[in-house]
Amino acid sequence: MLSPPFDYSLLMPGQIRFGWGARRHVGSLAATLGRRVFLLSGSRALTERGVIAELVDELDRAGLPVITAMAAAGEPVVGEVDRLTQSWRDAGAGPGDCLLAVGGGSALDLGKAVAALLPQPARLSVRDYLEGVGTGAQLTADPLPLIAMPTTSGTGSEATKNAVISSYEPPFKKSLRSDRMVPRIALVDPELTVSVSPTITAHTGMDAITQCLESYITRKATPIPQALALQGLKLALPALGPVVQDGTLRPEREALAHAALLSGIALANSGLGLAHGVAAALGIQAKVPHGLACAVMLVPALHSNLAVAESPLAELARELLPRTPGSDHGAASALIEHLTALCAELGIPTRLRELGVARDQLPALVPASHGNSLSGNPRAVSDDELRDLLESLW
Residues contributing to the site for Zn ion (CB under 5 A): 207
CB of 207: closest distance to Zn ion in angstroms? 4
In the bound complex, what is the minimum distance in angstroms from residue 164's beta carbon to Zn ion? Answer: 9
13 versus 105: smaller Cβ distance to Zn ion: 105
Taking the least distance from each CB to Zn ion, the nearer of 39 and 288 is 288
DSSP letters along 136-150, please?
-----SPPPPEEEEE
Q: C-beta of 233: minimal distance to Zn ion in Å?
A: 14
| Distance separating alpha carbons of residues 58 and 62, to the nearest angstrom | 6
Q: Please, which residue, 207 or 254, has the CB nearer to Zn ion?
A: 207
Instruction: Report, in Å, the least distance between residue 267 CB and Zn ion.
Output: 7
CB of 141 to Zn ion, least distance (A): 28
Q: Which residues share a beta bridge with 188?
A: 18
Q: Which value, to the nearest 10 degrees, does the dihedral of the CA atoms of residues 159, 26, 36, 181 take?
A: 0
CB-nearer residue toward Zn ion: 64 or 280: 280
Of the pair 74, 94, the CB lying nearest Zn ion is at: 74
Are 293 and 279 within 8 A, CB to CB? yes
Neighbours of 230 (CB within 10 A): 18
Q: How far is the CB of 19 from Zn ion (least distance, A)?
A: 24
The residue at minimum Cβ distance from Zn ion is 207
How far is Cα 252 from Cα 236, in angstroms, rounded to an integer?
A: 8
Integer Cα distance of 46 and 355 in angstroms: 28
Residue 3 burial (C-beta neighbours within 10 Å; 0-12, 13-18, 19+) = exposed
* 109 to 19, 176, 391: CA distances (angstroms): 22, 9, 32
Q: With respect to Zn ion, which residue has the nearer C-beta, 207 or 252?
A: 207
E-state strands within 208-316:
none
